[in-house]
């Protein structure tokens, strides 16, 4: 499997996994696993042969948010940011965060409203404030960009 956790093999710390494919969902316990190149090899409860393992191809792996450690101040899980309303410091509404991208230099939020905007995620620079309770992010960003 491929994991987006940092470091990549951190996905093995979480059990159970919620597997989803289309409208189907199932919960499965992680028994063991290891990093192998850029992928993860995991031993899952009830998956004892190649055919069983092959039956899981194409399934996406999720964990419940309650399984994650609490974030510290000025740290945010991407899943908490998706869906936030975004406006600039002048009160111009940009829309909602639809996605985030890690670029290496800095993360970028993609905001979709009247059009799509890509805004660098730089706390205290382009991102002025985040209020998860109110569901709002304030950015210092020109509405013409």
| Helix (H) or strand (E) run with residue 79 in it | helix 78-81
Q: Has residue 3 been placed in a domain?
A: no
CA distance 84 to 129: 12
Residue-number span of the structural domain to which 41 is assigned: 8-66
pLDDT in tens, 83-136: 999 999 999 999 999 999 988 888 999 999 999 999 999 999 999 999 999 999
pLDDT in tens, 46-61: 999 989 999 999 999 9
* Tally of domains within the chain: 2
Confidence tier at 37 by pLDDT (50, 70, 90): confident
Last residue of a domain, one of 46, 66, 86: 66
Q: Are residues 55 and 82 in the same domain?
A: no
DSSP character for 37? T
Confidence tier at 71 by pLDDT (50, 70, 90): confident
Report pLDDT for 6: 80
Report pLDDT for 38: 81
CA distance 124 to 137: 12
Report pLDDT for 75: 85
E-state strands within the chain = 17-21, 24-28, 30-36, 39-44, 60-62, 85-88, 93-102, 107-112, 116-121, 127-131, 136-139
Q: Has residue 144 been placed in a domain?
A: no
Q: Average per-residue pLDDT in the chain?
A: 92
Report pLDDT for 42: 93
Q: Has residue 72 been placed in a domain?
A: no
């Amino acid at each position: 499997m491929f994991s987006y956790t940092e470091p990549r093999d951190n996905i093995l710390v979480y059990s159970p996994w919620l597997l989803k494919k289309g409208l189907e969902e199932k919960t499965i316990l992680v028994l063991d696993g290891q990093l192998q190149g850029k992928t993860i090899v995991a031993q899952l409860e009830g998956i004892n042969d190649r055919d069983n393992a092959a039956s899981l191809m194409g399934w996406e792996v999720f964990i419940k948010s309650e399984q994650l450690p609490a974030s510290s101040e000025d740290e945010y899980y991407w899943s908490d940011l998706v869906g936030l309303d975004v406006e600039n410091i002048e009160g111009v509404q940009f829309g909602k965060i639809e996605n985030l991208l890690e670029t290496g230099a800095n993360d970028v939020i993609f905001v979709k409203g009247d059009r799509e905007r890509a805004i660098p995620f730089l706390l205290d620079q382009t991102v002025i404030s985040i209020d998860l309770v109110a569901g709002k992010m304030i950015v210092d960003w020109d509405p013409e960009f």
